[in-house]
Amino acid sequence: MLFMTKAIPRMLRQSIIFLSGLLTLFLIWLFGFILEDIGDMEGPDLAAFEAEVVPEELQEQTTALLEEIQKTDSEIKRQKEIQETLGRSMQNAGQTMEKLAELQRMNLERGVQPDEDERAALARARTRFLDAQDEFEGANISIAELNGARHQATGEKEALERILDEKKRPAWEAFREARESHRIKMGGLKLLFIVPILLAAAWTWGRRKENLLRPIFLACLLASFWKVGVVMFEHFPEEYFKYIAIGAAILIVLAFLVRLLRSASSPDPEILLKRRREAYQKGHCPVCAYPWSSPEEGGPKGESSCPSCGTRLFESCRDCGGRKHSLLPHCVHCGTTAAASA
């Protein structure tokens, strides 16, 4: 990778990693919007399946009974509101009647006979009370009759609904199958969009190792891989998804394992050079990791080899005659490469 092979400042390397991660999130977001638009295609309609098996007469009867029940409920509510009004009227008339009767009783105790107006007022209060009481009882009778009608209509409606459920059951089964087929179809269309992106990103990222845009390819690879997993989980049965997920995980692990094995057996020149530099810095043989002593520590000067594997570790530079590392490309004294000096 570019920022692994060249000496890029730490801050710049961290910025590249951060922006690559941010790009991955944005690509996941973008792919999600596109996949949602693909999934917005109209699916099967349950009402259409039910209409094919349910007689229209039964549906109309059920609708009529439902409307009748709603109308009855509204009438019961209205009668109860009337009862509340009549109850308040009865209470007011009763209080007025009690006050007038109490006033007449007090006048009689003082020997004063009630006049005609007082007797008429008491009679009117009594009449209002009795009329309100009669209307209240009439509302009670109406509510009872309405409740009876509602109970009968509800029973008929429930019976029709049981018949409808029996007739709708085949439609429900057909609808479930159609919905499952539609779900898998939508999953296939989504995979048809996202899998080519995944394959192209994987191929580009794996083949173009020196490309400047490799972090962008990696972001696209991770985002598309994530969305492939989401689509598989959402649109395909669990018994299939678990095998596909395990298979994909095995393929990924095998791919990385093969890559590591190839790197161990025949590493890239840059990785090999890095290993050799680190081995020289630690005072170990880059081939077999056997420890050796440097000239500064009293070791031999000039040409020298590893006493364990026999690999030549140091030799004389052909240009300046200084002691150079045999397995590194440049002379530490004059900077000449091995190819140039040859």
**pLDDT tens, 259-316?**
777 766 766 677 777 888 888 888 888 888 888 765 444 444 556 788 888 888 888 8
Task: Tell me what pLDDT residue 3 has.
Answer: 45
Q: Quick one: 126 and 208 in the same domain?
A: no
Distance CA 84, CA 90 (A): 10
Task: Tell me what pLDDT residue 30 has.
Answer: 92
Task: Tell me what pLDDT residue 5 has.
Answer: 46
Q: Quick one: 100 and 160 in the same domain?
A: yes
pLDDT digits (tens, 9 = 90+) for 119-169: 677 677 777 777 777 777 777 788 788 888 788 878 777 777 777 777 778
Task: Tell me what pLDDT residue 129 has.
Answer: 74
pLDDT digits (tens, 9 = 90+) for 214-265: 888 888 988 988 888 888 888 777 767 677 778 777 877 887 788 777 766 7
Count of positions (residues) in the chain: 342
Q: Which domain holds residue 11?
A: 2-40+189-265
Q: Quick one: 131 and 51 in the same domain?
A: yes
With cut-offs at 50, 70 and 90, classify the pLDDT of residue 25: very high
**Helix, strand, coil percentages for the chain (3-state, nearest 5):** 75, 5, 20
Mean pLDDT, residues 5-24 taken together: 78
CB proximity list for 68: less than 8 A, separation 6 or greater: 153
Distance CA 328, CA 311 (A): 13
pTM (predicted TM-score): 0.49
Mean pLDDT, residues 66-79 taken together: 83
Task: Tell me what pLDDT residue 210 has.
Answer: 64
pLDDT digits (tens, 9 = 90+) for 301-339: 556 788 888 888 888 888 787 788 788 888 887 877 765
Q: Quick one: 308 and 228 in the same domain?
A: no
Among 185, 178, 230, 191, CA closest to 29: 230
Q: Quick one: 82 and 157 in the same domain?
A: yes
Q: Tell which of 123, 158, 180 closes a domain.
A: 180
Q: Tell which of 133, 156, 180 closes a domain.
A: 180
H or E stretch covering 263: helix 238-265
End-to-end CA distance of the chain: 30
Q: Indicate the SS3 state at residue 9.
A: coil
Q: Quick one: 120 and 60 in the same domain?
A: yes
Distance CA 195, CA 230 (A): 12
pLDDT digits (tens, 9 = 90+) for 92-118: 777 777 776 776 677 666 666 666 766
Q: Tell which of 265, 293, 308 closes a domain.
A: 265
pLDDT digits (tens, 9 = 90+) for 167-202: 778 878 888 888 888 888 888 888 888 888 888 888
Q: Quick one: 61 and 117 in the same domain?
A: yes
Positive or negative, the Cα torsion across 314, 316, 321, 327? negative
Q: How many CB atoms lie within 10 A of CB 19?
A: 13
Q: How many CB atoms lie within 10 A of CB 140?
A: 13
Distance CA 237, CA 292 (A): 61
The mean of the pLDDT values for the chain is 77
Q: Quick one: 256 and 282 in the same domain?
A: no
Share of the chain above pLDDT 70, in %: 82
Q: Quick one: 75 and 173 in the same domain?
A: yes
Q: Quick one: 168 and 293 in the same domain?
A: no
Q: Quick one: 173 and 193 in the same domain?
A: no
User: What DSSP character marks residue 329?
Assistant: S
Q: Choose between 48 and 199: higher pLDDT.
A: 199
Overall domain count for the chain: 3
Q: Quick one: 162 and 246 in the same domain?
A: no
